[in-house]
Amino acid sequence: MRHVASLALVVAELTALAGLAAGATGCRRGGRGVARQHKPKVEAPECLTVLSWNDLHGQIGPDEPQLDLNHVAAGGVIALADEVADARAAGEPVFVLDAGDLLGGSIESAMNEGAPVIDAYRVLGVDAAALGNADFDFGPVGNERPIALPGKTDLDRDDGPRGALLQRLRAASFPFLSANLVRDGGQPTGWPDHKASVVLARGGFKLGVVGYTTKETPRTTLKPNVVGLDFETGASAAVAREIVALRAQGAAPIVLLAHASLDGELPRSLDDAADHGAGHVGEIATLLAQLDANALPDLVIAGHRHAWMVGRVRGVPIVSTDQHGVGFAKTRFCRADAKSKPVFATLERRTAISNGPPRTALGREVAKVVAPWQVQVKLEGDKSIATLARACVAQGPLGTAMLEQLARATRAHAGDAAKLPERVPVVAIVNAGGVRASFHAGVLSNADLFASMPFENAVSVCVTTRTGLARAVGNFVQRATRDRFPFGIAGAKVRLVRSPTGALVVSQIAIDGDEKRPPDPAKDEPVWIAMPDFLLWGGDHFLDGITCTSTASSTTRLRDAWRELIAQEQACAGPAANVVVEIPLDRPPNPVEE
């Protein structure tokens, strides 16, 4: 908190100077010097407030995150509007920023390609948003078209690969920011309201905001939707150039609004031990390491990890919040007077609790503008799919039955992509990151399914070999964490060994039917892998180092295939059946494996 200390020092110096001036004046009474005691008047500091959140993913009404031991109604744009109203009522200038992935996710937003969020943000008064990878998920206009026809470009407007996103940009009342997003060859996108940076003037302050989009975007959205775009070349130089230019215009403070994050364990305190020691790793850490001292921002508002974070990178405060607007951050910068530079003062992380109807006029206005969108999809969203006797858990350290069910649904529809050959095994693999929410026990609705799987991924296939399958599984296993196994599989069983270092190593992949027809060890026999098109196009590095001799995609959405299977089985609970982890006897077991 050294910036707070520096502000206090400025005020203390002003107080001392005022005291000296008062002590120098006085009069003589009865031959005795009497100094008049003037109490110095010290002006209160002037402050601005930045309210921020990230990864809204189209959340209109409240989510039900687990806070402590209970599920609590929190988040959504209506609850955030109440928090914005409260901040503005305090009297300080308030700037409202979103760090990206705002458009798609909820059924209301997904079925309308982000339009409800744009309407809500117009009323709420959002000042700027970063472009996130998931904001490219929609493709051309029309929910039935997740990707454009081959050869289409932005010149085809609504029919182009980014038709829906460009509609949202044209309708927005705020700029979408990304300094590192250009066309192949370095030319600007030319899109409406896409800017590298912006200066926001309010209450005598000039806040500079620079946008940044993760370099992983081509591998974390539908690849055809980002064709012809470059997120990587000269990224750090572009950010540095914008920060220096904003400072030259007199903007202060400067915020880096970044849809990107750190890797590994995220910091939890501004007194950040990692920043004083070995330092952080990950995209934001790499980006800031490449900036000169005069090009460092005053604050980083991050996203993409869907996780709470507060810390420092190269001494710069960094914050991110939970997904769906459940969390938001309140950061204040203060100055002694209008001639002084604002310095970092405080940073708070808060939860947007939703205990009932909106409690402020702004909240009610936002609720009113999104109500037609909610009514429009309510009939579809309320449709019942199944009645679950037990809750289904989406993520787990060793996989879940829920993920494997999605893999089985994908495998069942592999023939929608291409005619399946006889006597060639089909193995389905789905990425855990594509499933965003668990299912509660009780009635499961379409809205619940959308919340769990908000992406428009279609069933696809890659024709490879048993060696290719083993390499693909190995690619995924490297992404395993203590809390989340990275995939669900159907049509095969995977046996893994946890090494003394804690890393998982594939020891065996037994394809269904091998016990009746053992594979020929002298031949690398063909295998079809069914998967989401996201993986087929390079997502999550799943196919790195693998040759697909043939590929094909269907128009069958994974969500629809899954809905069909859940309706048949009326269950999805339990542990994974197709993943086994062996723990060597010479080391204690991982607590999650006991």
Residue 157 lies in a domain: yes
Would you state the structure tokens that stand for residue 219, as one six-digit string? 């591998």
Residue 12 lies in a domain: no
If asked whether residues 368 and 387 sit together in one domain, one would say no
If asked whether residues 151 and 65 sit together in one domain, one would say yes
130 sits in the region (left: phi over 0; alpha: psi -120 to 50; else beta) called beta
If asked whether residues 199 and 171 sit together in one domain, one would say yes
| Class of residue 299 by CB neighbours under 10 A (exposed 0-12, middle 13-18, buried 19+) | buried
What b-and-e string marks burial along 378-401, b requiring 16 or more CB atoms within 10 Å of the CB?
Answer: eeebeeebbebeeebbbbbbbbbb
Residue 11 lies in a domain: no
Q: 344, 374, 404: which is the final residue of a domain?
A: 374
If asked whether residues 313 and 395 sit together in one domain, one would say no
Q: 374, 400, 422: which is the final residue of a domain?
A: 374
How many Å apart are CA 155 and CA 569, to the nearest integer?
46
Residue 18 lies in a domain: no
Instruction: Show the beta-strand stretches assigned E in 153-302.
Output: 176-177, 182-183, 194-195, 197-202, 205-213, 229-230, 254-259, 299-302
- The per-residue pLDDT for 584 is 62
If asked whether residues 285 and 368 sit together in one domain, one would say yes
Residue 5, φ and ψ in degrees, nearest 5: -60, -40
- 3-state SS of 8-44 is HHHHHHHHHHHHHHHHCCEEEECCEEEECCCCCCCCC
How many Å apart are CA 325 and CA 65, to the nearest integer?
11
pTM of the model: 0.82
Would you state the structure tokens that stand for residue 388, as one six-digit string? 């679950």
Residue 10 lies in a domain: no
If asked whether residues 369 and 388 sit together in one domain, one would say no
Residue 201 lies in a domain: yes
- The per-residue pLDDT for 39 is 60
Would you state the structure tokens that stand for residue 26, as one six-digit string? 């006085």
Q: Domain range holding 410?
A: 383-593
Which three-class secondary structure state does DSSP give residue 587?
A: coil
Range list of H helices, 47-148? 77-89, 107-110, 115-124
CATH of the domain at 500: 3.90.780.10
Upper half-sphere CA count for residue 269 (Cβ side, 13 Å): 5
The total number of structural domains in the chain stands at 2
Q: 342, 374, 406: which is the final residue of a domain?
A: 374
What b-and-e string marks burial along 251-280, b requiring 16 or more CB atoms within 10 Å of the CB?
Answer: bbbbbbbbbbbbeeebbeebebebbeeeeb
- The per-residue pLDDT for 28 is 39
CATH of the domain at 98: 3.60.21.10
Beta partners for residue 411, in sequence order: none
If asked whether residues 348 and 469 sit together in one domain, one would say no
Residue 261 lies in a domain: yes
If asked whether residues 354 and 388 sit together in one domain, one would say no
If asked whether residues 395 and 370 sit together in one domain, one would say no
If asked whether residues 341 and 241 sit together in one domain, one would say yes
Contact 257, 299 (CB under 8 A): no
- The per-residue pLDDT for 6 is 36
Q: Which helix (H) or strand (E) holds 348?
A: strand 343-351
- The per-residue pLDDT for 586 is 53
- What residues in the chain have per-residue pLDDT under 50? 1-35, 588-594
If asked whether residues 86 and 139 sit together in one domain, one would say yes
Residue 233 lies in a domain: yes
- The per-residue pLDDT for 384 is 95
Beta partners for residue 575, in sequence order: 400
If asked whether residues 514 and 484 sit together in one domain, one would say yes
